[in-house]
Amino acid sequence: MTDHYSSLYKSFEWLVPSVFNIADACCHRWASSPHEARQVAIYFEDQVGQLTLLTYGQLSEKVNKLANGFIRMGVQPQDRVAVALQHSAESAITQLAVLTVGAIVVPLTASLSSAEYGERLHDSQARVAVVDKHSITALISAVDNHSPVKQIIGIHTDDDRIISWRTLLARQPSTFTPHVVSASTPAILVYPAPTENEPLRGVLLDHSSLIGTLPGFVASQNWFPKSNDIFWTSYDWNSPNGLLNALLPTLYFGKSIVGCPAGRTIPRLFTLLEHYQITNIYASGPDLRRIRDYPDALEEFDLAIRSISCLDTDYDPSLGQWARQRFNVDINVVAAPLGFGYIIGESQEKWAPRQGSMGRVYPGHRITVIDQAGKPLKTGQKGFIAVNRTDQNDYPDPAVALNYWSGAQIHPLQAEPQDWIPTAIRGHIDKDGYVWRDISTSTETDNLTS
C-alpha cells in the first residue's frame, strides 16, 4: 500500500469558524435544507425492537420544542443541565436541545448511584435535570439531599414532582433559533467514571471541541463519510465515548446512526447490522469479544461493514485476526483521552499499522513525550504523552480542553513549558513517529470510559 501519512499530516489545516454551535452543526443546518431534512438522522430500536426513526427535519423539530421548553423553565445560556438518561433517541434530542439554547450539557449515565449523582449535581450546580425510569430513583434521592436542581423533566416516569417530557414538548412551538455562541464557548461538562479517593474534576469542552475530534474520527473510520455510510457504536450515547466519539461526529456529517440498548443478543445484533446495512462501527473491546465468542452457529448475514475502530487499551491481536476473518476488515486502534479527542491511532487504508503500537498522531495534533518536570524527552525515551495547545502551523488545536470544572467553577488548565499539556498516558515515540504505550504503568483511566 502507498503510505499517505506524511502528505496528509503536513497539508492539514484547521478551519474553525468564530461562531459555531454544535447543535446547529449536527442538526439544524441539515433540517434547513429540504433534501437533507428528509435524510434519516437516528434509527433507535428499544429492548423489544420498537423503532424510533427521526429524519433530520424531525430531529430538529423535537430539539426545538425541548429548547423552547427549557427557555420557558428559565434556562439561561451557560446554565448547566444534567442529562441522566439511558441510551435512547431522547438522550440525543435532550443533549442537542441543551446546546441549542447555549446552556452546558452535563451527560450522566443512568447507572450512577444516588451519591454519585449528588456529587456531580452539587459540583456542576445544575439547575435542571432530565431523568427516565432507570435514573429517577437514584437522582430524586440525590435531589432531595439539598441538591441545586430546581426542576426535573421525566421521560416515561410517574411522579407528581416531575414535569412530563411528552407534555412539555406538546405545548411548545417547533421552531427555535439556536443561540449564537463563539466556538470557544463552553458546551459540554464531562465527568470521568467514578474513581475512589480521587477528587471530582470535570472536563469542560467548548463547542469547537467537536471540530477537534473530526480528523481522527474520519481517519479511524477509513475516511468517513462515504456515500452509503451508516454508523453504529456499542457505547451509550450519554457516555463520553458514545457522545463525543460517535454520535456528534456522525450527525455533523449528516449521516445516519443506529442505536440499540446494550446486551442485545448476538443473533439480534447481527440482524440489526444486516437490516440497516451498517458500514462503520466504533465498539469496545468487551463488546467485540462478546460477538467473537458467541458459541452457537450463526446463519449467513449479508453485511456491509467496511470499518471498525476500537480503543488501543481494548485491543489485542486475536481480535484483529478475528475481524479480518469474520468481516474482512482491519480494526483501527485509537487513543482518545478525555479532553483531547482522537489524538493517536490508525487508518489502515492510508498508512501502514505497526503491530503493538498505538498508531501515529492524527493530522491536526502535535505530541511529544515529557518527563515529570514537563521537559520534552528524546525519541525512544519513556514518559508522559503530551499534546500541544497548537498544531504544526501554530494554530490552536480545538480538540484540547483548556479548562476544567471543579468546586462549581471553571479553572484554567496549567500547561507545561512550551504549552505541552500532559495526558495520563505513559509511553514513547519511535523514530518513525509511531507511539507506544508503556503497558507496565498504564491504566484504563487514560481513555474515555462508558
Average pLDDT over the chain, rounded to whole? Answer: 94
Condensed to tens digits (0 to 9), the pLDDT of residues 388-435 reads 999 999 999 999 999 999 999 999 988 888 899 999 999 999 999 999
3-state DSSP assignment of residue 19: strand
pLDDT value at position 442? 46
Q: Name the DSSP class of 57.
A: H
Dihedral pair phi/psi, residue 140, rounded to 5°: -60, -40
Across 229-240, average pLDDT = 96
Q: Would you say residue 213 has pLDDT above 80?
A: yes
* Burial category of 290 from C-beta neighbours within 10 Å (exposed 0-12, middle 13-18, buried 19 and up): middle
Q: What is the DSSP string of 379-448?
A: TT--EEEEEESB-TTS-B-TTS--EEEETTEEEEPPPBGGGEEEEEEEEEE-TTSEEEE-TTT--GGGS-
Checking if the pLDDT of 80 tops 90, the result is yes
- What pLDDT, on the 0 to 100 scale, is given for residue 173? 97
Query: Which residues lie below 8 Å from residue 47, measured CB to CB, with a gap of 6+?
Result: 261
SS3 for 138-164 is HHHHHHHCCCCCCEEEEECCCCCCCEE
pLDDT at 313: 95
pLDDT at position 361 over 70: yes
Q: What are phi and psi of 317, to 5 degrees?
A: -55, -30
Secondary structure E strands in 90-139: 104-108, 128-132
C-alpha cell recorded at residue 312: 488501543
Which residue type sits at 257?
I
Q: How many whole angstroms separate alpha carbon 388 and alpha carbon 366?
A: 6
By the 8 A CB rule, do 345 and 218 touch?
no
- Give kind and range of the element (H or E) at residue 42: strand 40-45
* Residue 263 near residue 257, CB atoms below 8 Å: no
Residues near 432 by beta carbon (within 8 Å), at least 6 away in sequence: 354
How many residues can be counted in the chain?
450
Question: Which band of pLDDT confidence, cut at 50, 70 and 90, is reported for residue 441?
Answer: low
CATH number of 4-364: 3.40.50.12780
Give the list of residues 6+ apart from residue 75 with CB closer than 8 angstroms, or none. 81, 98, 101, 103, 127, 128
pLDDT band at 197 (very low <50, low <70, confident <90, very high): confident
pLDDT greater than 50 at residue 444: no
Per the structure block, which three cell numbers stand in for 389?
Answer: 495547545
Q: Give me the pLDDT at residue 153, please.
A: 98
Separation between Cα atoms, residue 195 and residue 181, nearest integer Å = 33
Instruction: Quickly tell me which residue has 467496511 as its cell.
Output: 306
Domain boundaries, the chain: 4-364
For residue 450, the model assigns a pLDDT of 36
Taking the C-alpha atoms of residue 200 and residue 67, their distance in angstroms, rounded to an integer, is: 29
What amino acid is encoded at 271 in this protein? Answer: T
Residue 443 CA from chain centroid, whole number: 20
Yes or no: say if 236 and 244 are a contact pair by the CB < 8 Å rule.
Answer: no
Element (H, E) at 258: strand 256-259
Place of cell 488545536: 397
Per-residue pLDDT, averaged over 116-120, amounts to 95
